[in-house]
Amino acid sequence: MKQRSAIILGIYDLFLALGAIFSGLMMISSISGVFSEYPTQWISILPFKSWIIPGIIAIAIFGIGNIAAASFSFRRKNNKFWF
């Protein structure tokens, strides 16, 4: 049972990583779609003026972090993937 839960967690982490990378790339390209225009209401509140920096953050933190968690869960040598 412990092996099955580690595999399921690894697959879930891979789906999260793919979603974060895809969303980050959409933010960076921001040609059309939901990320085509940065909301003017946010410009005075947030330190960002475009979607480029939030896209890089999404890829770096959520995408790469979930890929690392998935690789730890597929190795199953220790319990680091739970953290």
Q: Domain ranges in the chain?
A: 2-82
Give me the pLDDT at residue 78, please: 65
pLDDT tens digits for the chain (83 residues)? 467 778 888 899 999 999 999 999 999 998 777 888 888 888 888 898 888 999 999 999 999 999 988 888 888 666 655 66
How many whole angstroms separate alpha carbon 13 and alpha carbon 38? 29
Which residue's structure tokens are 């680091």?
80
pTM: 0.80
